[in-house]
Amino acid sequence: MIQVIDRALSIIEYIAREKQAVSLGDISKKVGISSTTCSNIIKDLLQRGYLEQEGHGKGYRIGPMCLGLGQLSDPYFSLRYFAEPVIQRIAEQTGETALISVLCGSKKLVVCFAQGYETIRFALERGVFDDIHWTAGGPLLLAHTTDKQRNWIYQSLNERWADNAEAQPWLQGLPEAVKKAQESECYSCSTPQVEQFAVAVKQNGRVIAAVGVSVPQFRLTEQLRKTVTDQLIAAGEEISEGLDQDLEM
């Protein structure tokens, strides 16, 4: 990707995730570019209406152009329509947070979610982007892309995280995780803190999303593992069936 475009998109994505206006210093630090470069990109985004400034010298927030483009077309309306009641049921029956995610470039986008009732649980926000190597849904979605697209995503991730030592084990293990996801009806991966589960959602035979649940390791029992797995498999089938029926209407 052209560097200046990549940086501009990273700025927009970061500001969009924040609930209040963000300062130039915070943006520069989070995106990882100099204040001067960041300021120049922001000036162009302000002129085009993709960002707006909250008073002179104050922070930046998403502008009307971004909001308007988002309202022109909602590609995930049908997916949310069929998925939301299903993941709400999973959250109510397991106590764990359930979500629907899709692949967007080299990142994973949370389309919708339902919070569990447990006191300690995973807090999410709709519209949040995650790098796909941190989650179970990422390798699952990657497993159903073309070889060309997958290789491009590997290259993009390696370039973005080249200087991050913590990310290297995840990136090195990603191809093997993708292979495992290709062979799994319900793919799972674990860290010392959390176990993540994901199942494919299909439309017309093509994988378009993943339905997933994350469970803290201290709460995970074999019974809960079985319950989450069974419910996710059933959820993937139910949502896929709804999407296929929607195509026929």
Q: What is the pLDDT of residues 25-65, one digit of tens each?
A: 999 999 999 999 999 999 999 988 889 887 666 789 888 78
Asked whether residue 98 falls in the same domain as residue 219, the answer is yes
Is 24 found in the same domain as 123? Answer: no
Whether residue 107 sits in one domain with residue 15: no
> Is the domain of 209 the same as that of 186?
yes
Instruction: State the chain's mean pLDDT as an integer.
Output: 88
Same-domain status, 115 and 199: yes
Q: Does 50 share its domain with 155?
A: no
pLDDT for residue 73? 57
Q: What DSSP element (H or E) covers 41?
A: helix 35-47
Question: CA distances (Å), 210 to each of 15, 65, 154, 240, in order?
Answer: 25, 29, 19, 11
Are residues 176 and 110 located together in one domain of the fold?
A: yes
pLDDT band of 159, cuts 50, 70, 90: confident
Both tokens assigned to 3: 């560097």
Same domain assignment for residues 67 and 90: no
Question: Can you give the pTM of this predicted structure?
Answer: 0.70
CATH, residue 35: 1.10.10.10
Please tell me the predicted confidence (pLDDT) of residue 56: 66
Task: State the CATH number of the domain containing residue 190.
Answer: 3.30.450.40
Amino acid at 55: G
* 177 in the same domain as 59: no
Q: Among 21, 44, 71, identify where a domain stops.
A: 71
pLDDT digits (tens, 9 = 90+) for 194-227: 999 999 999 999 999 999 999 999 999 999 999 9
- Beta-carbon contacts of 57 under 8 Å, excluding residues fewer than 6 positions away, are none
Question: Of 18, 38, 71, which residue is a domain's last?
Answer: 71
Kindly state whether residues 125 and 56 are assigned to the same domain: no
Tokens of 33: 């570019």
Query: What's the domain count of the chain?
Result: 2
Considering the domain architecture, whether residues 161 and 237 belong to the same structural domain is answered as yes
The residue from 20, 53, 71 where one domain ends is 71
In which domain, by residue range, is 64 found?
A: 3-71
Contacts of 151 (CB under 8 A, 6+ apart): none
> How many CA atoms does the CB half-sphere of 79 hold within 13 Å?
23
149 and 235 within one domain: yes
